Chain A
Amino acid sequence: MWKLQVCGAGRAGDGTNTFAQLLGKILKDMGAWVFIWRDEVYSNIQTRDSAFGMRAADFPIYGPEEGFDILVAFDEGALWDWTREGRIPPIERLRAGGVLIYDSSPRLEYPNTGHEVKEELVASVAEAKGLKVFGAPFGAMAKERFGNYIVRGAIALGVLAHMLRLPVQAFERQFRRLFNEELFRLNMDALLEGVAYARHEGWEVPDLEVRLDSAEADGRQFLMGNEAVALGAIVAGCRFFAGYPITPASEVLEYMAEKLPKVGGVVVQADSEMAAIHHVIGASIGGCRAMTATAGPGFSLMQEAISAAGMTETPIVIVVSQRGGPATGLPTKVGQEDLNETIFGGHGDFARIVLSPTEPEDAFYLMGTAFNLAERYQCPVLVIYDQVFAQSQYTIPPLDPQRFSIDRGKLIGPWGPPWRGDGPFRRYLLTPDGVSPRAVPGTPGITTMYYNSNEHNEDGYITEEIPIREAMVNKRVRQRLAIIRKDSDLPPPRVGGHPEASIGFIAYASLYGPLVEVVGQLTAEGRPAKLMALRTLWPFPSKEVRRFVQSCRRVYVVEYSVGAQLRGLVQMEATGPMPRKLRSILRYDGRPMTPQYILRAMEDG
């Protein structure tokens, strides 16, 4: 079992993201499973501390781990809390005996002048942690040789390439993909400068040898959660996307903006989240598979529209990428505080479905399910996840669009048999299964399709009379939820670990990744454990959760919410209070949970 963890740390604008990306892609090309996450990112564009973690292994990994093997520092912020606000700098996450590579030249450019890594600081931490230390004047080299400060990242990569014995050709391939000819040359030269420097200095780290077999890596995808969601939606047939920029959901908008026009679709950057979701309702009525993606405050703005979609029986898909809340909260950091809002938000009673992907491979196919369910049941479908899933980059097996099947439910359009009704088309026709036909506007013969957010009769006209109100509520809520519950397409929980284990974990979204490792580690230590990651959150999988909890002696519900929203759902929908059996493992400081964090929390409580 080979693995390696590297952190690139500096200030926003230093290129730490690009550094981690490139290193990750090269290792991925060499056959590694790579995971890249935002170790320290603030809601800021330039000057605040910025650190990206890169983890590579010769086995699948879906989350971060504690203990960097190598820290590459471009700024003193990597080594100490210069803000004196209780910040925990990346050096604290470098393991004892690890490798520190740092830029030993002064910080040469505004706005961070004076914040270079200082020798005395390096000396003090190196001794305390028994580090192997390598300082090179990346910044000065970049300025002097290339007249370009930003390439010090490429020089640092070169140093690392020599020390880890990574082939230069692998970098060449990635640089070609990333840069134009001019930048390609510049970065290659900078990289080679770094290689030469490290070779000349005789820098070696034999214990960190990269041992990989590239044979199996063919076709593996390397992508962000948000990209998997966006592409999954497109393959599912989404041809209309409206959104408003918000972290950590903007990558969905950006990916859609790039791709949708190429397959006959349209992207609207709306004037607000309210506008965005109403565009989606309009487009869905118009006949498109339509979606929006948002986070915290934007999601709150969408609540009235979700109710409108419920009442008018309009299929829409809403992606909710959670961050630390409430309000603006921690915009760039992880949270799972909006679960209750996805399930209980909006006003009034109506049927809805809430799904959650565990990692990008799951997400890609889950989007197909989301659109099929939305159209089959003519209701809002929410896809909820979190910042770690959204903005981390995962390595996953090859994805296959041919595994999708598209079911548009009772939608009548020019692709199907023509409508042959008697009399006028009735949008809310009472049918045996409670789902009424709807049509693409323009379909010949259909001129009386009336969607109404007021209570309505079968024709869509307003009514407040008792029998029809009761019939419509039953159709829309009771009957609908009953058939949704029976649908075998609802994604079942993802279960893993030792089936007979007495220790159980329940979680959703990105926490699946670290829990796989937790369960593996506990089981290896002779304490068999298992996990259940929920992929359908509403209708709540009560039966599965109850059975799982019953089969354990202790169950930890792991989530990023001080309110323990998921545990609340488990108790309300499946188990009752069970105060001795059910325990919470919570994190609400906006930082990702690692397997080590979860294990420590378990021991503590």
Chain B
Amino acid sequence: MAIDTVARPISAADITGPGAWWCNGCGDFGVTAAFKDVLLSVVNELGVPLERVFIVSGIGCSSKEPEMLRVNAYHGQHGRSIPVAMGLALANPSLVVVDFGGDGDTYGIGMEHFVHACIKNVNMTLVVMNNQVYGLTKGQASPTGHLGLKTSSTPYGKTIRPVNPLKLAIAAGAAFVARGVSWRKKELAEIMRMAITTRGFSLIDVFSPCVTYHREPGYRGSGAIVDWYRLNYVVDIKEAWRRMQEQVFSEEERSRLPADYDPTHHEAALMALRLIEEAAKMGREVTGVLLINESAPTMAEALGISADRPPALADIAIESNLAIYREWLAELR
């Protein structure tokens, strides 16, 4: 049995919640704005009924995303949004499951689930609002905090090297890997749209600056941290690829690899890892879509679950199953 629902057109007001009480200028507002655009297009253009959209989040500032929205949602516990989202995606593969988390949420306490979700290739989209700090507990360094970052928990500067979630996701076999930035809404929305329509596990790590607790020398005042990211921290994938071609690639590679970076190229995973490495040498983080690879079966497919007959709608009536139950009881004699 499958639920037959027709998509009704929706407006932004239909999907707007009471709000998340974020700080003025928080990057997460940009992420929300982009996502609402995507949601409108998923329902109004792609024809997915809003009933089938399910948002999951963990704990942290960014995990208050469902407060900004008015959709079916689960706001759970710190680090545990991914396994909840997996349960939903397997119970009913026809749901569009989008998980919003933070960098501490996903790459700290929830790292176990993150890596396994990539490996198992659950059909869901994970949006991580990465700001290098634990905002909601007042600014301690997070696993993505860069070396030297001074916070309340790293008063002498961070000495433990940061995690690189993009490399991890690529190595663990995620179907879609991208880096967005909260201050470029249109580009972020386009990335989200691609992620949601990709079959398999999609990671979008979004730089979503914390205007209150992320401090960098020389960048004082609200909004300045965005400038720090723009001017010192990120490099667009097109620019990074151009530099690779000019400065890194061999003659043979220049002729073999595409002129414009192509995340669907059969060598994209390796190219992406090299891009990330080369950018790191410049002290930069790549932004853009790094990888799209739908070749692996999703977890639901691997487990033989179909959207037509989801476990959530299995016929559990005793009479419908009586023959097989009796057969199984006969085995236990």
Contact = CB atoms under 8 A, between A and B. Distances in A.
B325 A278 contact: no
A288 B325 CA distance: 19
A282 B86 contact: yes
Interface stretch (A184-192, A381-389, A444-452): A444-452
Contacts of A597: none
Contacts of B316: 237, 239, 289, 406
Given A441-B52, A449-B72, A286 B312 contact: yes
Interface string A423-449: 010000000000000001111111111
Nearest to A371: B316
A283 B329 contact: no
A445 B3 CA distance: 12
Nearest to B326: A401
A461 B17 contact: yes
A549 B149 CA distance: 65
B73 A450 contact: yes
Given A223-B332, A239-B314, A401-B325, A453 B83 contact: no
Contact of A282 (B5, B50, B71, B91): B91
B217 interface: no
Interface in A278-308: 278-290, 304-305, 308
A462 to B, nearest CB: 6
B324 interface: yes
A440 B3 contact: yes
B106 interface: no
B85 interface: yes
Given A308-B80, A441-B54, A450-B66, A282 B85 contact: yes
A413 B310 CA distance: 13
B13 interface: no
Contacts of A281: 74, 76, 84, 87
A101 interface: no
B150 interface: no
Interface in A284-342: 284-290, 304-305, 308, 312
B83 A263 contact: no
A182 to B, nearest CB: 22
> How many interface residues does chain B have, given as a range?
35 or more
Interface stretch (A157-165, A264-272, A500-508, A564-572): A264-272
B231 interface: no
A475 B84 CA distance: 24
Nearest to A242: B87
Nearest to B115: A271
B318 A406 contact: yes
A274 B17 CA distance: 30
B317 A406 contact: yes
Interface string B32-68: 0000000000000000011111101001000010110
B1 A278 contact: no
- Residue in B87, B92, B94, B317 with the greatest tally of chain A CB atoms within 10 Å: B87
Given A279-B86, A414-B1, A451 B17 contact: no
B75 A451 contact: yes
B88 A286 contact: yes
Interface centre among B5, B85, B311 (most CB of A within 10 A): B311
B147 interface: no
B311 A266 contact: yes
A283 B88 contact: yes
Contact of B112 (A227, A239, A272, A406): A272
Nearest to A445: B51
B127 interface: no
Contacts of A312: 74, 76
B84 A444 contact: no
Given A279-B90, A283-B87, A308-B80, A448 B71 contact: yes
Nearest to A25: B333
Interface string B297-333: 0000001110001111111111001101110110011
A457 to B, nearest CB: 9
A222 B333 contact: yes
B321 A263 contact: yes
B3 A278 contact: no
Contact of B51 (A221, A399, A441): A441
Given A272-B112, A282-B91, A447 B50 contact: yes
A402 interface: yes
A237 B315 CA distance: 8
B75 A275 contact: no
A376 interface: no
B87 A290 contact: yes
B116 A263 contact: no
A390 to B, nearest CB: 15
Given A282-B74, A452-B75, A440 B88 contact: no
B135 to A, nearest CB: 16
Contacts of B56: 282
Given A221-B329, A283-B311, A442 B92 contact: yes
Given A231-B329, A264-B315, A444-B51, A271 B113 contact: yes
Interface in A211-230: 219-223, 227-228
B99 to A, nearest CB: 10
A261 interface: yes
Contacts of A203: none
Interface in B219-251: none
A377 interface: no
Contacts of A454: 75
A240 interface: yes
B61 to A, nearest CB: 12
- Among B1, B4, B77, B332, chain A packs the most CB atoms within 10 A around the CB of B332
A402 B318 CA distance: 7
Given A271-B112, A404-B318, A259 B328 contact: yes
A286 B51 contact: no
Given A222-B332, A401-B325, A450-B73, A266 B90 contact: yes
Contacts of B84: 278-279, 281-282, 285
A441 B90 CA distance: 13
A264 B309 contact: yes
A340 B18 CA distance: 40
Contacts of B80: 274, 278, 304-305, 308
B95 interface: yes
Contacts of A308: 76-77, 80
Contacts of B74: 281-282, 285, 312, 450-452
Contacts of B91: 240, 266, 282-288, 290
B215 interface: no
B70 interface: yes
A398 B56 CA distance: 44
Interface in A394-410: 398-399, 401-402, 404-406
A235 interface: yes
Among B3, B95, B312, B318, the one with the most A-chain Cβ atoms within 10 Å of its Cβ is B312
A497 interface: no
A267 B85 CA distance: 15
A426 to B, nearest CB: 12
Given A278-B76, A448-B71, 18 more contacts: A227-B332, A235-B318, A235-B321, A239-B316, A265-B314, A267-B303, A282-B91, A285-B84, A286-B310, A290-B87, A401-B329, A406-B317, A413-B313, A414-B313, A442-B5, A447-B71, A452-B73, A453-B77
Interface of A: 28, 219-223, 227-228, 231, 234-235, 237, 239-240, 242, 259, 261-268, 270-272, 274-276, 278-290, 304-305, 308, 312, 398-399, 401-402, 404-406, 413-415, 424, 440-454, 460-462
11 contacts: A221-B332, A223-B332, A231-B332, A239-B316, A240-B91, A242-B87, A264-B309, A271-B113, A402-B318, A406-B317, A451-B75
Interface of B: 1, 3-5, 14, 17-18, 49-54, 56, 59, 64, 66-67, 70-77, 80, 83-92, 94-95, 112-113, 116, 303-305, 309-318, 321-322, 324-326, 328-329, 332-333
Task: Give the 7 A-B residue pairs with the shortest CB-CB distance, closest first.
Answer: A282-B87, A286-B91, A287-B312, A237-B316, A278-B83, A264-B314, A282-B84
